[in-house]
Structure 1
Amino acid sequence: MSVRIARQHWQALLGELDDARRQRHLVTYRALIERLQLPPPAMQVLAAALEHLAALDARAERPLRSALVISQSASRLPRTGFFECVERLGRFSGPPDGIAAASWHASEVARVFEFDYPEVP
């Protein structure tokens, strides 16, 4: 099954991530779904959009903005699918729930906070 995000939701997602980056904070999947008012299947739509954004950032050799989106769980890390995606992109290798994942994620978030992304048209 292929899921797509509407253009207005995509633009809003980029705006939310840019705000989070400038304010140097992380945002949960749930908060993004609510703020963007994504239609069902909201989590699948958001996950697909974040994976697409990760691929775009990786291709442009930029830090991955999708790293700013985390689970509400105690781990405060992105979901397993994020780590599977970044492994496919060649950015991370290892278990998605260990010390290496947490360390890599913290480093990537710091890189995102410091990077100056081009304006979205």
Structure 2
Amino acid sequence: MSVRITRQHYDALLTALDDARRQRHLLTYRALIERLALPAPAMQTLTAALEHLAALDAQADRPLRSSLVISQGASRLPRTGYFDCVTRLGRFSGPTDGVAAASWHAAEVARVFEFDYPPEH
């Protein structure tokens, strides 16, 4: 099954991530789904959009903005699929849970906070 996000929702996602970056805070998947008012299947749509954005950022050799989205659980890390995605993109290798993943994620978030992204077309 292919999941697509509307241009309006994608633009809103980029705005939300840019706001979070400028304010130096993280967003939960749930908060982002609610803010964007994504229709069902909302989590699959958000995941597909974040993975697409991660691929674009990786291709442009930029820090991954998708790193700003985390689970609301105690780990305060992205879901396992995020680490699968960044592994496929060649940005991370190792276990998707534990100290290595948490350290890599924290460093990537810091890079995102410091990076000045060009405006999207």
Which band: TM-score by shorter chain? Answer: over 0.9
Per-residue CA deviation, residues 58-87 of structure 1 (Å, 9 max, x unaligned), is 000000000000000000000000000000
What is the distance in 2 between the residues matched to 1:95 and 1:2? 28
Per-residue CA deviation, residues 81-106 of structure 1 (Å, 9 max, x unaligned), is 00000000000001111100000000
What is the distance in 1 between the residues matched to 2:97 and 2:26? 18
What is the distance in 2 between the residues matched to 1:87 and 1:2? 22
Secondary structure at the residue paired with 1:52? helix
1:58 aligns with 2:58: yes
Structure 2 residue aligned with 1:80? 80
Partner amino acid for 2:84? E
Structure 2 residue aligned with 1:23? 23
Partner amino acid for 1:63? P
Q: Which runs of 5+ in 1 are unaligned?
A: none
Matches for 1:92-111 after TM superposition, within 5 Å: 92-111=92-111
What is the distance in 2 between the residues matched to 1:16 and 1:28? 11
Secondary structure at the residue paired with 1:39? coil
Per-residue CA deviation, residues 7-28 of structure 1 (Å, 9 max, x unaligned), is 0000000000000000000000
What is the distance in 1 between the residues matched to 2:120 and 2:85? 23
What is the distance in 2 between the residues matched to 1:55 and 1:62? 10
Partner amino acid for 1:83? F
State the TM-score, normalizing by the size of structure 2. Answer: 0.99
Secondary structure at the residue paired with 1:102? helix
Partner amino acid for 1:117? Y
What is the distance in 2 between the residues matched to 1:82 and 1:63? 14
Root-mean-square deviation (CA, aligned residues, Å) is 0.4
State the TM-score, normalizing by the size of structure 1. Answer: 0.99
Moved over 2 A (4+): none
